[in-house]
Amino acid sequence: MSNKQIRFDSLCVKEYKDNRSTTPHQLPIYATSSFNFEDMEEGIDIFTGKKIGHAYGRYGNPTIDTVSQKLADMEAFGTGLDAFGFLTSSGMSAISTVLISLLKNGDAILTQNDLYGGTTEMLLKVIANSGIKSTFADLTDLDAVESILQQNRTIKMLYFETPANPTMRCIDIKAMVRLAKKYGVTTCVDSTFCTPVIQQPLSLGVDFVIHSTTKYLNGHGNSIAGVIIGHKQELKKQIWTTLKLLGTTCNPWDAWLINNGMKTLSIRMERHSHNAMAVAEYLDTHPKIVRVNYNGLPNHPYHEVAKSQMKTFGGMLSFEIDGDLPQVLSILNKLTFCTKAPTLGDVDTLVLHPATSSHLNVDRSIREASGITDGLVRLSVGIENSQDIIDDLSQALA
């Protein structure tokens, strides 16, 4: 029936034909939960995989799919790899979706001691309930890593962050890939701190790359999402099936915000890196600072590893204040320019105290052994004038 044949109250309800005549300059937000079929046969073809098309928002959406593929192309840029990407509801859901997709009861994960606190908690409190065990080790000790892989053949995944959050420890990606391939283990890297502008793990042989797009990829602190990027096409459907059935899919609004943020990613990362170096050099000479964790400093123990796999050194650093917990918190409370917030990667400078926030639920002995002491402060250096950041740190430390 045409719109002229139906009654007025039905006309109110019905969608009108999309009258787009020319291509929009900006990616549209497809705010729809489902998609119409031309006929029942088209629906059958899409659901059976005979035809590629959108059916239901949890399975895919043009806005989400466009941004996912752009992220995959950025990670694979210059490698010749045919990469794919899946946007998820958060960085944590990206990690959990990959683990549940690729591992089963009886499998094990080998990872590092100084992971982001939320990831450690998820491995021990959620993933472990599926019968998937986690082994924590110093992944910078290659002999120890190989020994563990030799002795425990249930390890099916090598999962790591580089640089690590918040210690900034760098894992040698090429070395991890070499050992993983030797023992038939999948590699998955959280590269949130770097983005593809600074580091491309796929180019170094990694199987999967994870990002919390909430951070630098979006860059403006107004969306929460994550992304899974891989290049092994035989595993693509496996990831997608888990994604759609768990319901960890991203939404089109957050995908659109990520797309908007990515347009300035390259110049933002350049400024973040420049400012972080200036702040790190200032802190490195301050009498109240015990140590500065920034891979750009030539005296940093992981400087050479970072230099071999990162184009610049990024905007993240951490530093340890000489003082007890009340003294440290008192100093942080004196900051007026830097923002105290439990996130990173925004355009403004953000301060976090890991021991009382991101790593609060990690056993004290474990976090302190990894250098996450009561005196450690994480700084996400923004793109403001670097001297304003330094001035604020100076007055607080004074």
Residue 375: predicted pLDDT:
95
190 is catalytic: yes
Higher pLDDT, 367 or 100: 100
Per-residue confidence at 269, pLDDT binned at 50, 70, 90?
Answer: very high
On the question of pLDDT at 308 being above 90, the answer is yes
pLDDT in tens, 200-259: 999 999 999 999 999 999 999 999 999 999 999 999 999 999 999 999 999 999 999 999
Given the residues 56, 58, 307, 391, the one annotated as active site:
58
pLDDT-wise least confident of 38-42, 199-203, 271-275, 393-397: 38-42
Q: Give the range among 23-32, 202-211, 220-229, 301-310 with minimum mean pLDDT.
A: 23-32
Quote the tokens at residue 284: 């490195």
* Catalytic residue chosen out of the listed positions 59, 116, 159, 216: 116
Residue length of the chain: 398
Query: What is the pLDDT, as a whole number, of residue 70?
Result: 98
- What values do phi and psi take at 86, rounded to 5? -130, 120
- Per the prediction, the chain carries an average pLDDT of 95
- Write down the pLDDT at residue 7: 87
Reduced to 3 states, what is the DSSP secondary structure of residue 257? helix
Residue 371: HSE in the Cβ half-sphere, 13 Å Cα cutoff = 21
Higher-confidence residue of 328 and 2: namely: 328
- Tell me which of 190, 207, 346, 374 is the catalytic residue: 190
Q: What is the mean pLDDT of residues 106-110?
A: 98
Residue 372: which pLDDT band, with cuts at 50, 70 and 90?
Answer: confident
**58 a catalytic residue:** yes
Lowest average pLDDT, out of 53-57, 69-73, 361-365, goes to: 361-365
The CA distance from 56 to 51, in Å, is: 14
Question: pLDDT above 70 covers what percent of the chain?
Answer: 99
pTM across the whole model? 0.94
Q: 326-343: per-residue pLDDT in tens?
A: 999 999 999 999 999 999
**Tokens matching residue 66:** 């466009």
Domains and CATH numbers, the chain: 40-262 (3.40.640.10), 265-397 (3.90.1150.10)
**116 is an active site residue:** yes
pLDDT at position 388 over 90: yes
Cβ burial of 314 (10 Å; 0-12, 13-18, 19+) is buried
What is the per-residue pLDDT across 129-147, written as a single tens digit (0 to 9) for each? 999 999 999 999 999 999 9
Identified catalytic residue from 215, 268, 367, 378: 215
Q: What's the rounded Cα separation, in Å, for the pair 234 and 191?
A: 23
| pLDDT value, residue 387 | 98
Strands (E), 62-170: 84-88, 108-112, 133-137, 155-161
As a dihedral over the C-alpha atoms of residue 38, residue 39, residue 43, residue 48, rounded to 10 degrees, the angle is -120
- Whether residue 1 has pLDDT greater than 70: no
Please tell me the predicted confidence (pLDDT) of residue 361: 73
pLDDT at residue 369 greater than cutoff 80: no
Question: What pLDDT does residue 18 have?
Answer: 82
